[in-house]
Amino acid sequence: MDAVLRLELPTPYPVGTVNAWWLDGPEPVLIDTGVPTRANLEILEAALAVHGRSLGDVRRILLTHDHADHAGAASAVARRSGAPVHMHARGRLGPRWKPEEIQALARFLLRCGMPADVLAGAGEALRRDARYADADPVVPEPLWGGEILDSPLGPLTVLATPGHSHDHLSYLAIDAGLLFCGDTLLPYITPNPILHLDPDAGFRRVPSLLQHLESLRTLAALPVRRAHPGHGPDLLDVAGRVAHDLAFVQARQGVFLAAIRRGADTPWSLAQAVFGDQDPTGRFLAVSETVAYLDLLERDAGLDVRWEADPIRVGRT
């Protein structure tokens, strides 16, 4: 069996399949787990059985971030194997949204200019996603970044790479020259910098895109020969992919600025101008990305964003 096995798992999301990574050896490690469905666990078991392995063999479960397509099945795998689950201390297994977090998010989206009926549809989509959360999660062991863990590939350095999610981690196997980068770096798309209101800081908005850009620069500087992403095939040129994503962000800034100059003056109207109409989940993601770019434009282009206004107002440059 190869030292690293890619396990491609189905998801109910538009992104398609998700990758879990099996690091084989006397003490196997599983990085990410897929959604918490019986079908997903059966596919995991069948893929491992081909190689004479089972989920019961895993000795450590590592998560890149707490989104359901990556972390949803972690508790179920942990119960089958007895293996501990490691994730960022700010991540969460189980139900993704607490009631007070949903309320804070709803208030913020309304202040972005999202119409109440559109917000109701987005909220329903988020509630539907709750079915992909384990109702009886295990208690994970917290990581912050900077830790060094044992693995079949040798020492595995934990890297904090927030941006796509506030709790995102990547894992560097320095001896093997391999990077497990989750959704921070992907082969076909640029990750969405998801809107996050920090419940531990009075629901302060986290500047997700600014964090993501810093994470990209961290990855570009690593001495790796191959990156294993959360979706799609391996990346053989990490620095080149980072350069591509940075160029994309620069170009997307120009798209947002052009829409603002045409008159879009709230995050919602700006999201509509740039992304057009979307399904309920897509509308949330569009506003999420718009807010993230407003942080960047405020910093780099002198854009006047009146964050405390209701609705939030965007001034022209």
**Global pTM value:** 0.95
In tens digits, the chain (317 residues) has pLDDT values of 579 999 999 998 888 999 999 999 999 999 999 998 899 999 999 999 999 999 999 999 999 999 999 999 999 999 999 999 999 999 999 877 788 988 999 999 999 999 998 998 777 766 666 666 777 899 999 999 999 999 999 999 999 999 999 999 999 999 999 999 999 999 999 999 999 999 988 999 999 999 999 999 999 999 999 999 999 999 999 999 999 999 999 999 999 999 999 999 999 999 999 999 888 888 999 999 999 999 999 999 999 999 999 999 998 65
The strand ranges marked E within the chain are 4-9, 18-23, 29-31, 60-62, 85-88, 141-143, 148-149, 156-160, 169-173, 178-182, 197-198, 204-205, 226-229, 305-306, 313-314
Per-residue pLDDT tens for 86-119? Answer: 999 999 998 777 889 889 999 999 999 999 989 9
Per-residue pLDDT tens for 180-217? Answer: 999 999 999 999 999 999 998 899 999 999 999 999 99
CATH code for the structural domain at 4-94+133-236: 3.60.15.10
- In the chain, CATH 3.60.15.10 sits at 4-94+133-236
**Half-sphere exposure (Cβ direction) of 96: Cα atoms closer than 13 Å:** 23
